[in-house]
Amino acid sequence: MNRGRRKHTRPDISEKQVEFVSCSPSKGEVWDVCLKVSGWPHTVRVWAKDELDVMKQVLEMQRGKIPVDAFDVSE
């Protein structure tokens, strides 16, 4: 059982609309990125150096690809 633990999976973004909402630094080179996937909010944790690197990974997600350095932390 996975009671109360977060799943480190990635949201299913294939053939869905991905919209960037916000991003904020978390710890070190980790950023919390809030996305809307088909209208539903998802918080994705991304390893990135700065905001430009975060936006590059968000653009990959909007193209339907999932970066290796991203995982879903939504509850």
Q: What is the dihedral of CA 57, 61, 63, 67, to 10 degrees?
A: 60
**pLDDT tens for the 75 residues of the chain, in order:** 445 455 555 666 766 788 899 999 988 889 999 988 888 888 888 888 999 999 998 888 888 787 777 766 665
Tokens representing 11 are 């949201």
